[in-house]
Amino acid sequence: MTVESDRDIEALKIVGRIVALVIREMAANLRPGVTTRELDDIGRAIMEKNGAHSAPELTYQFPGATCISVNEEAAHGIPGDRVIRAGEMVNIDVSAELDGYFADSGASFMVPPVKAESKKLCAATRAALWKAIHSVKAGQPMNAIGRSIETEATRCGFRLVRELTGHGVGRSLHEDPEAVWNFYNAGDQRILKEGMVFTIEPFLTYGSGRILTEKNGWTIRTSDRSPVAQYEHTLIVTRGEPIITTMLPA
């Protein structure tokens, strides 16, 4: 999507705030003994209270309002009877639709007692996201995003899950640009344009970075079962700092 009016920007901010609120409340209820279905029910209730709809359900008939991925699961974890245990790392990925506008965000959370390796992995992934966000400006090459992420991942000693990427969003859950790469692609000659709307979402791991899809047809995990961290925001490109739609006010 490319925004065409202040109304577009405000509508994207409204649905983005709902997504951020859902993640915050789900994370606040994340503790040993809770099931992923119970967390998903919390997320669904907040979306419904705010008049929003689950984007993965609406778009793909995903079997859950949100995606909850644990440890080696990189994406599209299906909410269910899985009980969260102490020391696990849980990714909560939420996308929602309201009045024809979409937003998408995600974050990884550590369940105490926090493991040192999980803390390091999450910190590096979060830093990679923010370095990429700071590279976003109209007129700049899009591949600067991937360069920033790859540089930070390498500096911190992690590998990227290269097959998973950011994507365009706004009027649908996935749209142009189809892929916002998490690594430097010299052949990518696209230039960022004012008003573009897309997500940035690096996935970092200790392992090889290779992935496979589970038998359920949805959940993606690392082939070597190495833990994965992911952080994601939806952005609007401007001539200055990008507008991050999926952040709550400080």
Q: Which of 70, 61, 38 is nearest to 217 (CA)?
A: 61
Strands 67-70 and 159-160 come out as unpaired
Share of the chain above pLDDT 90, in %: 99
With a CB cutoff of 8 Å and minimum separation 6, the contacts of 198 are 166, 167, 168, 169, 177, 180, 234, 235, 237
Q: In the prediction, which pLDDT does 216 show?
A: 97
**Do 32 and 86 form a contact (C-beta atoms < 8 A)?**
yes
Q: In the prediction, which pLDDT does 154 show?
A: 97
Q: In the prediction, which pLDDT does 6 show?
A: 97
Q: Grade residue 117 by pLDDT with cuts at 50, 70 and 90.
A: very high
* Domain residue spans of the chain: 6-243
Q: Grade residue 219 by pLDDT with cuts at 50, 70 and 90.
A: very high
Q: Architecture of 6-243 per CATH?
A: Alpha-Beta Complex (3.90)
Q: Grade residue 158 by pLDDT with cuts at 50, 70 and 90.
A: very high
Examine the pLDDT at 68 and tell me if it is beyond 80: yes
**Average pLDDT value for residue range 203-219:** 97
Q: What is the mean pLDDT of the chain?
A: 97
What b/e string do you get for 74-96 counting C-beta neighbours within 10 Å, with b at 16 or more?
Answer: bbbbbbeebebeeebbbbbbbbb
**Do 58 and 97 form a contact (C-beta atoms < 8 A)?**
yes
Q: In the prediction, which pLDDT does 249 show?
A: 83
pLDDT tens digits along 165-197: 999 999 999 999 999 999 999 999 999 999 999
pTM (predicted TM-score): 0.96
Q: In the prediction, which pLDDT does 250 show?
A: 73
Q: In the prediction, which pLDDT does 155 show?
A: 97
Maximal CA-CA distance, the chain: 49
